[in-house]
Amino acid sequence: MTEFTQINLDKADGIATLTLHRPEKMNAFTHTMMDEMIAAIDDTDADDSVRAVIVTGHGDRAFCAGADLTPEGSDGNVFARHDPVETLSDERVRDGGGRLTLRLFNSQKPLIGACNGVAVGVGATMQLPFDMRLCSDNARFGFVFARRGITPEACSSWFLPRLVGMQTALEWCMTGRIFDAAEAKERGLVRSVHPQGELMDAAIAIAREIADNTSAVSVAMTRAMLWRLSATEHPMMAHRVDSRAIYRLGKSADSKEGVMSFLEKRPPNYPDTVSQNMPDFYPWWDEPDFR
């Protein structure tokens, strides 16, 4: 397993927990953290024993306090830094938060956010590709970019309006104000708010329900279908993928087990794996007819 310095990755009983771990900086985001989070998702995708991933922050104050504004040699222009291989033109520059959220978007395992405190800037936008977001009652969120003289990043202009609606997305991003857990739940950013000491138990309960009762291949396909097809221009695009998916999976060992376990009134034991048994047309979005 990769050695990490700014995150922790723990696995137990089918559930991986990815913890942002820079306690001296309220888990502030760095290029190193980006690389390590991407590597961790590569790891969980490749590990068939992992059925769900929980992402949280270390401690009880902060999930992630945004980008580290005091990196060595920044001279204040921390948001203009980029990789040496991408220095030829502005058009080639890639935002680090966006590189992370695109990798999270392509995860084959469900992602459950357990926001344990302050989450501003990239600390908020990195959570948008999570499939479910829970938070503690002391959580605070802020899309503060306009207050730092920059714009929303991490593909949040695509994710945020889909989650909370355009009016709320515009309000939060144009004011840059900090808002509390209650507002986050009211506006649809999080599914539930929990006392700090109960947050991880709630996240684990959801992960456990997925791990114990569902087909890994079904969940991976469902995740990709809902995220990608809901953004297409016509339901026919969804119909085309739905039809192929249910036909292919309907012939699978998992489908047979799902039916037999139901008829025999016993817990399922799904044999198929994401690494070996995804449908032959996955990933369909790379096919010219589906672009």
Judge whether residue 4 has pLDDT over 90. Answer: yes
Q: List the domain boundaries for the chain.
A: 7-210, 215-290
CATH for 215-290? 1.10.12.10
pLDDT at 118: 98
d(CA 96, CA 135): 24
29: DSSP letter:
B
Per-residue pLDDT tens digits for 157-166:
999 999 999 9
Per the listing, tokens 């953290």 go with 33
Closest of 132, 131, 137, 145 to residue 178, by C-alpha: 145
Mark 136-154 as b/e (b = at least 16 C-beta within 10 Å): bebbbbbbbbeeeeeebbb
Q: Which pLDDT band, with edges at 50, 70 and 90, does 18 fall under?
A: very high
Judge whether residue 86 has pLDDT over 70. Answer: no
d(CA 153, CA 52): 26
pLDDT at 287: 77
Judge whether residue 289 has pLDDT over 90. Answer: no
Q: What is the mean pLDDT of residues 69-75?
A: 59
pLDDT at 93: 79
pLDDT at 161: 98
Judge whether residue 90 has pLDDT over 90. Answer: no
Least confident segment among 79-83, 116-120, 196-200: 79-83
pLDDT at 74: 45
Judge whether residue 59 has pLDDT over 70. Answer: yes
Q: What is 7-210's CATH number, 3.40.50.2020, 3.90.226.10, 3.40.47.10, 3.40.50.300?
A: 3.90.226.10
Judge whether residue 155 has pLDDT over 80. Answer: yes
| Three-state DSSP state, 141 | strand
pLDDT at 73: 43
Per-residue pLDDT tens digits for 224-241:
999 999 989 999 999 999
pLDDT at 164: 98
Distances (CA, A) of 271 to 187, 245, 274: 39, 18, 10
Q: Which pLDDT band, with edges at 50, 70 and 90, does 56 fall under?
A: very high
pLDDT at 91: 63
Per-residue pLDDT tens digits for 163-198:
999 999 999 999 999 999 999 999 999 999 999 999
Averaged pLDDT score across all residues of the chain: 93
Judge whether residue 23 has pLDDT over 80. Answer: yes
Per the listing, tokens 């714009």 go with 151
